[in-house]
Amino acid sequence: MVQARGLGRQFRDGASEKWALQGLELQILGGEKLAVTGPSGAGKSTLLRLLGALDRSYAGELRVNGCELRDLDDRALARFRGQTVGFVFQSFNLLPSYSVGDNLLMPNVLTGALPAADALERARELLDRVGLRACWDQRPLTLSGGQRQRVAVARALLLKPSLVLCDEPTGALDHDTAQQVLDLLDELHAEQACTLIYVTHDERVVARCDRRLQLFDGRMAERQPGGSS
């Protein structure tokens, strides 16, 4: 699913340059659940942005589903972002002026991957699946944090992506709501057999994963989920 060789990302910091990631050798299998952990500034979110092709200014090699991401042209890149990858963010990233239903449909509006009728059916099915059928016409700001995160999960899965990237999905939620969202992600992961990658500081998330990738100063040390942080 994901292969990286010598993966690095460098940023300019004033007059000097700093490696946010350096020399990563990584293989992630299809259907795997992986937790990416480490202290702030370790390179976790940088890695997630590279995996999702939100940033392609990297050194080394990075292949997702057999495609070298830096080689994608604009059309292929848009298709990759819209259909291969789904994103779940800590801050939800829902459009406040659009209804819940319109937010769910946005990936298809941007990519045209599905006929409109099929996308509508899929969106309604997912909203029902996350327990928010009655919220289709509501605005996101009328929902609780947990409800908004469930909408974000449903949106991420609209086009049945093979890779779902979650950046601190429980960071803004209370304990019980976080557990509900994680249960939902586990269920949908099992149903769709997608690869699920979490960036997290939450050991409850780590415990649900097949393995942990721990980053320190842009370099990696892999451990089993039960290992110390």
> Distance (Å, rounded) from C-alpha 146 to C-alpha 149?
5
Q: Is the pLDDT of residue 226 over 60?
A: no
Percent with pLDDT over 90 in the chain: 52
Predicted model pTM: 0.87
Give me the count of residues in the chain: 229
Q: For residue 67, how many C-alpha atoms fall within 13 Å in the half-sphere facing its CB?
A: 18
User: Above 70 in pLDDT, residue 65?
Assistant: yes
Containing H/E element for 28?
strand 16-28
Residue 116, number of CB atoms within 10 A of its CB: 11
Whether residue 149 contacts residue 169, with contact meaning beta carbons closer than 8 Å, is answered with: yes
pLDDT in tens, 152-172: 989 999 998 999 999 988 887
pLDDT at site 99: 97
Residue 79 reports pLDDT greater than 90: no
Residue 229: pLDDT band (50, 70, 90) is very low
Residue 40: per-residue pLDDT: 86
- Rounded alpha-carbon distances, angstroms, from residue 199 to 83, 126, 157, 213: 21, 24, 18, 9
pLDDT at 50: 93
User: Which residue has tokens 């099992």?
Assistant: 190
pLDDT higher than threshold 50 for residue 67: yes
Q: What is the mean pLDDT of residues 46-74?
A: 90
What domains appear along the chain, each with residue ranges and CATH number? 2-223 (3.40.50.300)
